[in-house]
Amino acid sequence: METRAYDELIGRLKEHSLLASCGHVLGWDERTYMPHHGSAHRAEQMALLARMTHEMLTSPRIGELLGQAEGSLDSTTADSIPAANLREIRRSYSRAVKIPKRLVEELARVTTRAQQVWQEARQANDFAAFRPWLEKIIQLKREEAQAIGYASEPYDALLDEYEPGATAAEITRIFADLRAELVPLLKQILASGRQAAREILEREFPVAQQETFGRAAAARAGFDFDAGRLDVTTHPFCSGIGPGDCRITTRYNLRHFNDAFFGILHEAGHGIYDQGLDPAHYGTPLGSAVSLGIHESQSRLWENQIGRSRPFWQYFFPQARQAFPQALANVALDDFVFAINDVRPSFIRIEADEATYNMHIIFRFELECALVGGDLKPADVPGAWNEKFEKSFQLRPPTDALGCLQDIHWSMGGIGYFPTYTLGNLYAAQFMARARQDLGDLDADFSRGEFGRLKGWLHEKIHCQGQRYLPAELCRRVTSKPLGHQPLLDYLRNKYGLLYGL
Amino acid sequence: METRAYDELIGRLKEHSLLASCGHVLGWDERTYMPHHGSAHRAEQMALLARMTHEMLTSPRIGELLGQAEGSLDSTTADSIPAANLREIRRSYSRAVKIPKRLVEELARVTTRAQQVWQEARQANDFAAFRPWLEKIIQLKREEAQAIGYASEPYDALLDEYEPGATAAEITRIFADLRAELVPLLKQILASGRQAAREILEREFPVAQQETFGRAAAARAGFDFDAGRLDVTTHPFCSGIGPGDCRITTRYNLRHFNDAFFGILHEAGHGIYDQGLDPAHYGTPLGSAVSLGIHESQSRLWENQIGRSRPFWQYFFPQARQAFPQALANVALDDFVFAINDVRPSFIRIEADEATYNMHIIFRFELECALVGGDLKPADVPGAWNEKFEKSFQLRPPTDALGCLQDIHWSMGGIGYFPTYTLGNLYAAQFMARARQDLGDLDADFSRGEFGRLKGWLHEKIHCQGQRYLPAELCRRVTSKPLGHQPLLDYLRNKYGLLYGL
**B247 touches A: beta carbon within 8 Å:** yes
Among A residues 461-500, those touching chain B with beta carbons less than 8 Å apart:
none
* A183-197 core/surface letters (b: 16 or more CB in 10 A; e: else): eebbeebbeeeeebe
Mean pLDDT of B12-19: 97
Cβ B37–A227 below 8 Å, yes or no? yes
The answer to whether residue B502 scores a pLDDT higher than 70 is yes
State the pLDDT at residue B105.
86
**A19 touches B: beta carbon within 8 Å:** yes
Cβ B22–A45 below 8 Å, yes or no? yes
Measure the CA–CA gap between A150 and A142, rounded to whole angstroms: 12
Nearest chain A alpha carbon to B36: A226
**A45 touches B: beta carbon within 8 Å:** yes
ipTM of the predicted structure?
Answer: 0.92
User: DSSP code of A240?
Assistant: E
Q: Which residues in chain A are closer than 8 Å to B42, comparing Cβ atoms?
A: 242, 245
Nearest chain A alpha carbon to B24: A26
Indicate the helix (H) or strand (E) that contains B359. Answer: helix B354-373
Of A26, A38, A229, the CB nearest to B35: A229
Burial (CB < 10 A; 0-12, 13-18, 19+), residue B422, is buried
B111 closest CA partner among B85, B77, B137:
B137
Cβ A37–B231 below 8 Å, yes or no? no
Question: B39 to chain A nearest CA, in Å?
Answer: 8
Cβ A245–B38 below 8 Å, yes or no? yes
**Residue A231: beta bridge partners?**
A249
A249 touches A31 (CB < 8 A):
yes
**Residue B231: beta bridge partners?**
B249
Q: Which residues of B are catalytic?
A: 267
Cβ A21–B244 below 8 Å, yes or no? no
Mean pLDDT of B222-235: 95
User: At residue B280, what are phi and psi to the nearest 5 degrees?
Assistant: -65, -25
Of A35, A42, A224, the CB nearest to B229: A35
Cβ A40–B225 below 8 Å, yes or no? no
B391 touches B384 (CB < 8 A):
no
Q: Which distant-in-sequence residues (6+ apart) come within 8 Å of B402 by Cβ?
A: B347, B348
Mean pLDDT of B162-175: 96
Cβ B29–A29 below 8 Å, yes or no? yes
Residue B441's CB is within 10 A of a number of other CB atoms, namely 10
Residue A146's CB is within 10 A of a number of other CB atoms, namely 12
pLDDT in tens, B18-31: 999 999 999 999 99
Mean pLDDT of B374-378: 96
Measure the CA–CA gap between B249 and B251, rounded to whole angstroms: 7
Indicate the helix (H) or strand (E) that contains A230. Answer: strand A228-232
Measure the CA–CA gap between A390 and A394, rounded to whole angstroms: 5
Nearest chain A alpha carbon to B44: A18
Indicate the helix (H) or strand (E) that contains A154. Answer: helix A154-162
Cβ B40–A227 below 8 Å, yes or no? no
Cβ B22–A242 below 8 Å, yes or no? no
Q: Position B386: which residue type?
A: N
Q: Which of A32, A44, A46 to mutate to test the interface with B (most CBs of B within 10 A)?
A: A44
User: At residue B239, what are phi and psi to the nearest 5 degrees?
Assistant: -125, 115
**B244 touches A: beta carbon within 8 Å:** yes
For B143, B359, B392, B500, the CA distances from B191, given in Å and listed in that order, are: 47, 18, 16, 9
Q: Which of A13, A15, A22 to mutate to test the interface with B (most CBs of B within 10 A)?
A: A22
**B208 touches A: beta carbon within 8 Å:** no
The answer to whether residue B2 scores a pLDDT higher than 80 is no
Cβ A29–B34 below 8 Å, yes or no? no
Residue A233's CB is within 10 A of a number of other CB atoms, namely 18
SS3 A484: coil
Burial (CB < 10 A; 0-12, 13-18, 19+), residue B184, is exposed
Q: Which residues in chain B are closer than 8 Å to A48, comparing Cβ atoms?
A: 15, 18-19, 22
Q: Which residues in chain A are closer than 8 Å to B39, comparing Cβ atoms?
A: 244
Cβ A41–B241 below 8 Å, yes or no? yes
State the pLDDT at residue B108.
87
Residues belonging to chain B = 502
A29 touches A41 (CB < 8 A):
no
Residue by residue, pLDDT tens for chain A (502 residues) are 678 999 999 999 999 999 999 999 999 999 999 999 999 999 999 999 999 999 999 999 999 999 999 999 887 877 899 999 999 999 999 999 999 989 988 998 999 899 989 999 999 999 999 999 999 999 999 999 999 999 989 999 999 999 999 999 999 999 999 999 999 999 999 999 999 999 999 999 999 999 999 999 999 999 999 999 999 998 899 999 999 999 999 999 999 999 999 999 999 999 999 999 999 999 999 999 999 999 999 999 999 999 999 999 999 999 999 999 999 999 999 999 999 999 999 999 988 999 999 999 999 999 999 999 999 999 999 999 999 999 999 999 999 999 999 999 999 999 999 999 999 999 999 999 999 999 999 999 999 999 999 999 999 999 999 999 999 999 999 999 999 999 999 999 999 999 999 9
pLDDT in tens, B421-477: 999 999 999 999 999 999 999 999 999 999 999 999 999 999 999 999 999 999 999
Cβ A228–B40 below 8 Å, yes or no? no
A53 closest CA partner among A19, A22, A78, A76:
A19
State the pLDDT at residue A1.
65
Q: Which residues in chain B are closer than 8 Å to A231, comparing Cβ atoms?
A: 33
Measure the CA–CA gap between B84 and B468, rounded to whole angstroms: 5
**B25 touches A: beta carbon within 8 Å:** yes
User: At residue B181, what are phi and psi to the nearest 5 degrees?
Assistant: -95, -25
A34 touches A42 (CB < 8 A):
yes
A-B interface: how many C-beta pairs under 8 angstroms? 117
Measure the CA–CA gap between A483 and A481, rounded to whole angstroms: 6
Nearest chain B alpha carbon to A44: B18
Question: A355 to chain B nearest CA, in Å?
Answer: 36
Question: B160 to chain A nearest CA, in Å?
Answer: 28
The answer to whether residue B1 scores a pLDDT higher than 70 is no
**B128 touches A: beta carbon within 8 Å:** no
User: At residue A232, what are phi and psi to the nearest 5 degrees?
Assistant: -110, 135
Cβ A37–B242 below 8 Å, yes or no? no
SS3 A403: coil
A395 touches A345 (CB < 8 A):
yes
Mean pLDDT of B151-169: 95
Nearest chain A alpha carbon to B45: A18
A403 touches A347 (CB < 8 A):
yes
Q: Indicate the pLDDT class of residue B3, thresholds 50, 70 and 90.
A: confident
**Residue B229: beta bridge partners?**
B247
Long-range contacts of B312-319 (CB under 8 A, 24+ apart): B312/B446, B312/B447, B313/B337, B313/B340, B314/B446, B314/B447, B315/B446, B315/B447, B315/B448, B315/B449, B316/B217, B316/B449, B319/B213, B319/B216
